[in-house]
């Protein structure tokens, strides 16, 4: 809310009322009277004006339109920070020239299997190990994860391979235990607008991967990032993982156009999850290559040695040898856009 356009022939009394409303919010105004329209330029930090407050001003007598110049997501916007953010995760940078790859199973199923996967994705060139210890599932009867035992397996795999860990947080009550084990906290798609959870992770010193909600607009997604950043945690990454559309040929519709759009709106690194985006292992490789070409700063890919026996998301998991081949295919794509992998 930076410019208020006043309707023709609006009485001065109404304009004064609008100005008093702005003053009550700690804002000042510059009134410019033209032959056809009167324009009020709002001076002050308008990013803190909520959409509800903006709508209330729009409803005032005499107001024709209310326009924003600054984005409502102040901390996440390029207007706030002109250069792309680089997030250091225990010595590995996300958002720099090198495209990082996070790989591993959807769920941590057992110790031996996880370490085996970790060794294979590390050999192929991955720098992070993904794996869920607390799993949000559509059915309450599906495998829900191993909990803290699964986190312990992740740390053991990290010690053996050097891979950094990313795992999902679902409940604020699990934050303390997650903090003990992980290098990146993942906020899943179902929790993108769980504002209590976002505020909790905003208060800790740990990088956060924020996945896009199933039906979230880019603006809503960035506003969720703003929740985290408003509490002091600036180490936020945005993960495009597909949105729900009318299309049924794939699990979701992977919105790769979001990558260049985000690059124009925010300084935060952009990660792409092609596994959830398409839900089919045979489509993961082409979408991974396309994501790198579109400007992704990192990929997060599901890998399992025996997908048909996976406890979750086997249909979208790559076997280790296919993942290794994909890593080779990504190198020339990254080079073509001036990056490395």
Output the tens digit of pLDDT for each of the chain's 341 residues. 588 899 888 898 988 998 988 888 888 888 888 777 888 888 777 766 778 888 888 899 989 988 877 677 888 998 888 899 999 999 999 999 999 999 999 999 899 999 999 999 999 999 999 999 886 656 665 556 788 899 999 999 999 999 999 999 999 999 999 999 999 999 999 999 999 999 999 999 999 999 999 999 999 999 999 999 999 999 999 999 999 999 999 999 999 999 999 999 999 999 999 999 999 999 999 999 999 999 999 999 999 999 888 888 789 999 999 999 999 999 999 999 999 99
> Would you state the pLDDT for residue 73?
85
Using alpha carbons only, give the angle 168, 296, 210 rounded to the nearest 5 degrees.
25
> Would you state the pLDDT for residue 29?
83
Contacts with 143 (C-beta within 8 Å, 6 or more apart), sequence order: 107, 135, 137, 311, 312
- The CA-atom distances, in angstroms, between 131 and each of 4, 28, 79, 313 are 49, 51, 35, 12
Residue position matching structure tokens 């105004």: 29
State the fold for domain 3-67. Alpha-Beta Plaits (3.30.70)
In degrees and rounded to multiples of 5, residue 44 shows phi and psi of: 135, -175
How many alpha carbons lie under 13 Å from residue 304 in its C-beta half-sphere?
A: 23
Q: Is 147 left (phi over 0), alpha (psi -120 to 50) or beta?
A: left
> Would you state the pLDDT for residue 314?
85
Q: CA-to-CA distance for 143 and 39, rounded, in angstroms? A: 59
> Would you state the pLDDT for residue 82?
87
Q: CA-to-CA distance for 304 and 260, rounded, in angstroms? A: 30
> Would you state the pLDDT for residue 139?
65
Task: Give Dmax (Cα) for the chain.
Answer: 77
> Would you state the pLDDT for residue 9?
84
> Would you state the pLDDT for residue 53?
85
Q: CATH 3.20.20.70: does it fit domain 87-336?
A: yes
Comparing C-alpha atoms, which of 227, 238, 245 is closest to residue 265?
A: 238
Structural domain spans, the chain: 3-67, 87-336
CB 267 within 8 A of CB 303: no
């Amino acid at each position: 809310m930076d410019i208020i356009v006043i309707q023709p022939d609006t009485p001065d009394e109404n304009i004064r009322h609008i100005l008093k409303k702005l003053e009550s919010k700690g804002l000042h105004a510059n009134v410019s009277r033209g032959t056809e329209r009167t324009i009020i330029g709002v001076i002050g930090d308008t990013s803190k004006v909520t959409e509800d407050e903006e709508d209330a001003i729009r409803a005032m007598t005499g107001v024709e339109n209310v326009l924003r110049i600054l984005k409502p997501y102040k901390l996440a916007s390029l207007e706030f920070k002109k250069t792309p953010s680089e997030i250091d995760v225990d010595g590995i940078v996300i958002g720099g020239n090198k495209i990082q790859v996070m790989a591993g199973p959807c769920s941590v199923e057992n110790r031996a299997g996880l370490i085996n996967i970790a060794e294979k994705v590390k050999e192929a060139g991955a720098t992070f190990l993904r794996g869920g210890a607390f799993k949000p599932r559509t059915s309450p009867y599906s495998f829900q994860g191993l909990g803290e035992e699964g986190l312990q397996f992740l740390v053991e795999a990290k010690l053996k391979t050097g891979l950094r860990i990313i795992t999902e947080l679902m409940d604020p009550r699990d934050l303390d235990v997650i903090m003990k084990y992980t290098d990146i906290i993942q906020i899943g798609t179902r929790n993108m607008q769980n504002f209590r959870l976002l505020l909790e992770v905003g208060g800790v010193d740990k990088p956060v991967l924020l996945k896009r909600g199933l039906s979230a607009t880019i603006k809503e997604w960035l506003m969720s990032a703003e929740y985290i950043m408003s509490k002091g945690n600036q180490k936020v990454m945005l993960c495009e993982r597909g949105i729900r559309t009318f299309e049924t040929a794939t699990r979701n519709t992977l919105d790769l156009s979001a990558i260049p759009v985000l690059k124009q709106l925010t300084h935060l690194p952009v990660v792409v999850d092609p596994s959830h985006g398409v839900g089919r292992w045979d489509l993961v490789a082409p979408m991974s290559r396309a994501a790198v070409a579109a400007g992704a700063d990192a990929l997060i890919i599901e890998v399992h040695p025996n997908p048909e026996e996976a406890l979750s998301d086997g249909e979208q998991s790559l076997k280790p040898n296919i993942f290794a081949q994909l890593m080779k295919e990504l190198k020339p794509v990254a080079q073509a856009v001036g990056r490395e992998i």
